[in-house]
Amino acid sequence: NAGVTQTPKFRVLKTGQSMTLLCAQDMNHEYMYWYRQDPGMGLRLIHYSVGEGTTAKGEVPDGYNVSRLKKQNFLLGLESAAPSQTSVYFCASSYVRDEQFFGPGTRLTVL
């Protein structure tokens, strides 16, 4: 039982490049979330999903897109990366509104 996994662990992008972060969970959770964590700002919700095929905006959705084609996977895309998107990205999942479980994070640097 791996829990919540994220790939990649680290990535460096140049401004304007695109990339996709992958989150996978093996707990059969309905809800999945993408957060970013920045010093002094705490954790902020980017997008979330309440089930396969659904997505919704969180607090800071601009510049990001998401997809949930399979229940176990939640993808976060950056179409044109900007230095302001340098951050640590965390994926989480929960069975509806219960306990949230987090992945290990992806450290992204945009030059």
Partner 1 sequence: KQEVTQIPAALSVPEGENLVLNCSFTDSAIYNLQWFRQDPGKGLTSLLLIQSSQREQTSGRLNASLDKSSGRSTLYIAASQPGDSATYLCAVRPSGTASKLTFGTGTRLQVTL
Interface residues with partner 1 (CB under 8 A)? 4, 31, 33, 40, 42-43, 45, 48, 50, 56, 58-59, 90, 92, 97-105
Structure-token pair, residue 99: 């306990």
Structure-token pair, residue 14: 């140049």
Q: Find all residues with CB under 8 Å of 40, minimum gap 6, and list them.
A: none
Q: Could you tell me the smallest distance in angstroms from the CB atom of residue 59 to partner 1? A: 8
Q: Could you tell me the smallest distance in angstroms from the CB atom of residue 92 to partner 1? A: 8
Of 17 and 71, which has the nearer Cβ to partner 1? 71
| H helix or E strand, kind and range, residue 53 | none
Of 17 and 94, which has the nearer Cβ to partner 1? 94
Residue 90 CB-density burial (10 A; 0-12 exposed, 13-18 middle, 19+ buried): buried
Q: Could you tell me the smallest distance in angstroms from the CB atom of residue 80 to partner 1? A: 26
